[in-house]
Amino acid sequence: MTDVLNESEDLHGGADGHAGSPLNFIEQVVEDDIAAGKNGGRVHTRFPPEPNGYLHIGHAKSICLNFGLADKYGGQTNLRFDDTNPVTEDTEYVDSIKNDVQWLGFKWENEFYASDYFVRIYAFAETLIQKGLAYVDDSSSEEIAAQKGTPTEPGRTNQYRDRTVDENLDLFRRMRAGDYPDGAKVLRAKVDMTSPNMQLRDPIIYRIKHAHHHRTGDAWCIYPMYDFAHGQSDAIEHITHSLCTLEFEVHRPLYDWFIQQLEIFPSRQIEFARLNLTYTVMSKRKLKQLVEEGHVNGWDDPRMPTIAGLRRRGYTPASLREFADRIGIARRENLIDLGLLEFCIREELNKTTHRVMAVLDEEPLKLVISNYEEGREEMLNIENNPEEETTTYRKVPFSREVYIERDDFMENPPKKFFRLFPGGMVRLKGAYIIKCDDVVKDAAGNITELRCSYLPESRSGSDTSGINVKGTIHWVSVPHAVEAEVRLYDRLFSVENPAADERDFKELINPASLSVVRAFVEPALVEAARSGEQSNFQFMRKGYFVLDADSTADRPVFNRTVTLKDGWAKEQKKN
């Protein structure tokens, strides 16, 4: 287990359920605030997605953190849509976000929208103007950027900075009234053009954007910038602890400056490292590109790191929460091994799934068991899961003809090949020991079937044959087999950290991230999956699989969630 935990030393496991583990730094801040009697001991967090895409596993970390913290300290969490950017946002995203948060197992106290605060945020802007702390600037965005200076050179002020309060109020009201085209003017906070912190060099707080908003329609043609919406929304909702990712650390002085100048509720911003995961990208902008340019089949493609993709891949809410718990909270950026996420789902599915048989092969090999009566069929009892406390069994049909995978037979086997070969014996899992008597070939020399014989006294559970065979292989009875499509997924990118690569991330897509194979599976498993009785399975020797929504009445489709062992880590050790 420890070899997949690729993380820095300042990580702590989550607190819940790990009695005695030290507090993470955010819990420490919260406990200090409670001890100091701040906010009357109240803890109120929020999860603030921008509805411009589907949530990914990084958001899941933030969700677990915000909701987990409130839970731990008897507090509350709001779901707040940070919808201040009309062009990129959509109700489709709002719906998917709500669905994903609920699916993860969390319940928000309130569902809020930053756009519901547009009137109040606008009023905050007028307050700043009235205090002489904001001004309308007519400069172009290029001029503003040029005047801003660099981290080592102070910025320069311009003539608009000296506009009077009345002039600013009038211009700002006219901006709101729609008197100017996009980009003609902006409202800037008057902070400090010489501050070493670039964020404080008179940041833009309102811009003109004549665009339809998914909730407010055409009511507004000016929209607040992130820095003038986020903290203000936190204050309006009386959020006590506003958790955000590290890149906002440099925004914190501005966050606090607005609180001070506007005399609003003093929410406390705390930053933590965003989750980065190997072999994938985690920015919504990039994920959106993958979807829109057809590199994947939608936001819920099982290769995507989105919550919807992971769900379709067969991940469970508990496995994602477990993952978030294990990676903990860090104050430094880090890259987490995808193997850890896979470890979390494998651990869970090992405990919960039935072991079933599926022959994954375009052209499986047919065994004909010559001494098994034609037309006879037996229902064998096969154990569902050796991990179960109370063993349960299911019925699996056996008959004279069974399919096995071609890889489980070799005509000229090397030493230590314990599967089937001419004259050799194996056990058919849960059934009988068989012997390969003859290999049947077509005119071209391709093997078409194997003639075998079975030992009637070797039936699993009541074996009196006294024969020990080294190999056990899985099989499916030919007349009972259900043909299925199986989708085998691999990592979406072929390099560990595509975001850090110089090449365009789309050039780094793993060309073999999806392969589709034909399979023959036990009939009972299809029934169980279709009835919703079970959705995740272990296909013996193959990995964990889940029924996909693309299944049709005559052709079930299964996605491979994860292989049985971490084949990748093993491969890397060899090299």
Smaller CB separation from Mg ion, 168 or 267: 267
Q: What beta strand segments (E) does 328-481 contain? A: 334-336, 354-356, 358-360, 365-369, 377-383, 393-399, 401-404, 425-428, 433-441, 447-454, 472-473, 476-477
Question: Any catalytic annotation for residue 284?
Answer: yes
Q: How far apart are CA 347 and CA 319, in angstroms?
A: 8
Residue 50 found at the interface with ligand ATP (CB under 6 A):
yes
Minimum separation from the CB atom of position 224 to ligand ATP (A): 15
The item of Mg ion, ligand ATP, none sharing an interface with residue 58, based on CB under 5 to 8 Å by kind, is ligand ATP
Q: Is 222 helix (H, G, I), strand (E, B) or coil?
A: strand
The one catalytic residue in 190, 268, 284, 487 is 284
Q: Is 248 helix (H, G, I), strand (E, B) or coil?
A: helix
Smaller CB separation from ligand ATP, 82 or 300: 82
Q: Which residues contact 220 (CB under 8 A, 6 or more apart)?
A: 118, 176, 213
Smaller CB separation from ligand ATP, 49 or 203: 49
Residue 275 found at the interface with ligand ATP (CB under 6 A):
yes
Residue choice 195, 216, 261, 283 for contact with ligand ATP (CB under 6 A)? 283
389 annotated to bind ligand: no
Smaller CB separation from Mg ion, 50 or 116: 50
Residue 327 found at the interface with ligand ATP (CB under 6 A):
no
453 annotated to bind ligand: no
Helix (H) or strand (E) holding 516: strand 514-521
213 annotated to bind ligand: no
379 annotated to bind ligand: no
Q: How far apart are CA 572 and CA 65, in angstroms?
A: 32
> Structure tokens of 30?
């919260």
Site size for ligand ATP (CB under 6 A): 15
Smaller CB separation from ligand ATP, 58 or 364: 58
275 annotated to bind ligand: yes
DSSP structure class, residue 418: -
The item of ligand ATP, Mg ion, none sharing an interface with residue 275, based on CB under 5 to 8 Å by kind, is ligand ATP
Task: Give the bridge partners for 365, in sequence order.
Answer: 404
- Tell me if 78 sits within 8 A of 112, measured CB to CB: yes
Question: Any catalytic annotation for residue 38?
Answer: no
| Backbone φ, ψ for residue 511 (5° rounding) | -65, -20
274 annotated to bind ligand: yes
The one catalytic residue in 201, 268, 274, 400 is 274
- Give residues 205-244 in contact with ligand ATP (rule: CB under 6 A): 244
Secondary structure (H, E, C), 147-167: HCCECCECCCCCHHHHCCHHH
Residue 14 found at the interface with ligand ATP (CB under 6 A):
no
263 annotated to bind ligand: no
Residue 245 found at the interface with ligand ATP (CB under 6 A):
yes
267 annotated to bind ligand: no
Minimum separation from the CB atom of position 282 to ligand ATP (A): 5
Smaller CB separation from Mg ion, 230 or 394: 230
Minimum separation from the CB atom of position 548 to Mg ion (A): 31
Q: Is 435 helix (H, G, I), strand (E, B) or coil?
A: strand
Smaller CB separation from Mg ion, 50 or 126: 50
Minimum separation from the CB atom of position 283 to ligand ATP (A): 4
110 annotated to bind ligand: no
Q: What beta strand segments (E) does 405-461 contain? A: 425-428, 433-441, 447-454
Residue 68 found at the interface with ligand ATP (CB under 6 A):
no
Using the Cα atoms of residue 166, residue 172, residue 173 and residue 179 in order, give the sign of their dihedral: positive
Q: Which residues contact 272 (CB under 8 A, 6 or more apart)?
A: 26, 65, 243, 244, 245, 246, 329, 330, 331
> Structure tokens of 298?
């939608």
Residue 449 found at the interface with ligand ATP (CB under 6 A):
no
Mark 77-116 with x for binding to ligand ATP (rule: CB under 6 A) and - for no binding.
-----x----------------------------------
82 annotated to bind ligand: yes
Residue choice 24, 30, 61, 69 for contact with ligand ATP (CB under 6 A)? 61
Minimum separation from the CB atom of position 313 to Mg ion (A): 25
Minimum separation from the CB atom of position 361 to Mg ion (A): 46
Report the residue count for the chain: 575
CB-neighbour burial class of residue 565 (10 A; exposed 0-12, middle 13-18, buried 19+): exposed
- Give residues 161-220 in contact with Mg ion (rule: CB under 5 A): none
Q: How far apart are CA 107 and CA 101, in angstroms?
A: 8
> Structure tokens of 197?
């912190």
Minimum separation from the CB atom of position 335 to ligand ATP (A): 11
Question: Any catalytic annotation for residue 395?
Answer: no
Which string of b and e fits 233-247 if b means at least 16 CB within 10 Å? bbbbbebbbbbbeee
Residue choice 59, 185, 312, 487 for contact with ligand ATP (CB under 6 A)? 59
CB count, 10 Å around CB of 305?
24
Q: Which residues are annotated as a binding site for ATP?
A: 50-52, 56-62, 245, 274-275, 282-284
Interface with Mg ion (CB under 5 A): 50
Q: Which residues are annotated as a binding site?
A: 50-52, 56-62, 82, 226, 245, 274-275, 282-284
What amino acid positions are annotated as catalytic residues? 50, 274, 284
Interface with ligand ATP (CB under 6 A): 48-50, 58-59, 61-62, 82, 244-245, 274-275, 282-284
